[in-house]
C-alpha cells in the first residue's frame, strides 16, 4: 500500500467543495464559525490542557490516549498537556457512544471547564458509528455535547489523535475535507 493513494487526492472542485458546504448552513454562518474557531485556536496555540472523558468506550481508545504521553508520541513537545481537573482544561477528548447513564457526569464535566473550550469526539463510537442510538446510549457524543472536532478510527492511532489535536488548535490544516475517497481510474484489475 502506497503511503497515500494519489487517486484519492480530490481537487477543490465543485463536487468536494459542495460536499463540504452541504452540511453546515449558509456561507455567513460558516465564516463566523471559522472566525470564532480561529480566535479560540490562536489562544491555545502554544499550550493546551486536555481532559479526557470516557462515556462508555471499550478501553482501546483510552489506551491510545494514554500512549499520547508515551515517549514515542510525547504530546508535551507540541505544547499539549494532560490535566486531571476539568477546571484547568481547555480541550475535552470524549470517547465512547455517550451512554445515557453518563449524561449527568458528562454535562458536569463540560460545565466545569472554563470557556473558551473545545470538545473533540474521539473514535468511531463517539462519532455515531459502532452503536446505534437506543435505550442504552445516545449513539454519538454530539447528542450530549457541542463537538468541535471529530477524530474517526477504531481506535484512532496516537498519530491520528495528534493530528486531531493539532487541527483543533489550527496548527495543522484539515486534510479530510479535501479528500473524496472516490477513485475514478482503474487502480485494480477488474475480475471479469
Site for other proteins in 59-118 (CB under 8 A): 59-67, 69-74, 77, 82-87, 96-97, 99-102, 104-106, 108-109, 111-112, 114-115
Interface with other proteins (CB under 8 A), residue from 127, 144, 145, 169: 127
Contact 91, 168 (CB under 8 A): yes
Pick the closest to residue 122 from 174, 58, 46, 179 (CA basis). Answer: 58
Interface with other proteins (CB under 8 A), residue from 5, 35, 42, 47: 5
Q: Nearest approach, Cβ of 188 to other proteins (angstroms)?
A: 6
The yes or no reply on residue 28 touching other proteins (CB under 8 A) is no
Tell me the DSSP string of 126-169: HTT-SS-SSSSB-SSGGGTS---EEE--SSPPHHHHHHHHHHHT
The yes or no reply on residue 3 touching other proteins (CB under 8 A) is yes
Q: Nearest approach, Cβ of 5 to other proteins (angstroms)?
A: 5
Interface with other proteins (CB under 8 A), residue from 52, 90, 91, 144: 52
- Where b means 16+ CB within 10 Å and e means fewer, 152-169 reads ebebbebebbbbbbbbbb
Q: How far apart are CA 58 and CA 165, in angstroms?
A: 21
The yes or no reply on residue 141 touching other proteins (CB under 8 A) is no
Q: Nearest approach, Cβ of 61 to other proteins (angstroms)?
A: 7
Q: How many residues bind other proteins (CB under 8 A)?
A: 110
Interface with other proteins (CB under 8 A), residue from 90, 128, 144, 145: 128
Contact 65, 95 (CB under 8 A): yes
CB of 32 or CB of 176, closer to other proteins: 176
Q: How far apart are CA 90 and CA 102, in angstroms?
A: 21
Amino acid at each position: 500500500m502506497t503511503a497515500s493513494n494519489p487517486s484519492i487526492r480530490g481537487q477543490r472542485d465543485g463536487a468536494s467543495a459542495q460536499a463540504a458546504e452541504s452540511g453546515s448552513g449558509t456561507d455567513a454562518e460558516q465564516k463566523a464559525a471559522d472566525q470564532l474557531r480561529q480566535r479560540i485556536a490562536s489562544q491555545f496555540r502554544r499550550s493546551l490542557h486536555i481532559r479526557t472523558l470516557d462515556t462508555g468506550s471499550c478501553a482501546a481508545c483510552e489506551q491510545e490516549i494514554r500512549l499520547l504521553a508515551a515517549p514515542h508520541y510525547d504530546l508535551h513537545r507540541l505544547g499539549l498537556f494532560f490535566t486531571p481537573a476539568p477546571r484547568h482544561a481547555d480541550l475535552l477528548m470524549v470517547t465512547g457512544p455517550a451512554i445515557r447513564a453518563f449524561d449527568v457526569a458528562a454535562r458536569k464535566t463540560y460545565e466545569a471547564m472554563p470557556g473558551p473550550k473545545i470538545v473533540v469526539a474521539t473514535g468511531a463510537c463517539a462519532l455515531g458509528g459502532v452503536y446505534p442510538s437506543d435505550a442504552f446510549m445516545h449513539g454519538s457524543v454530539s447528542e450530549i455535547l457541542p463537538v468541535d472536532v471529530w477524530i474517526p478510527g477504531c481506535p484512532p492511532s496516537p498519530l491520528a489523535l495528534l493530528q486531531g489535536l493539532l487541527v483543533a488548535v489550527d496548527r495543522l490544516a484539515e486534510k479530510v475535507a479535501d479528500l473524496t475517497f472516490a477513485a475514478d481510474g482503474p487502480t485494480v484489475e477488474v475480475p471479469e
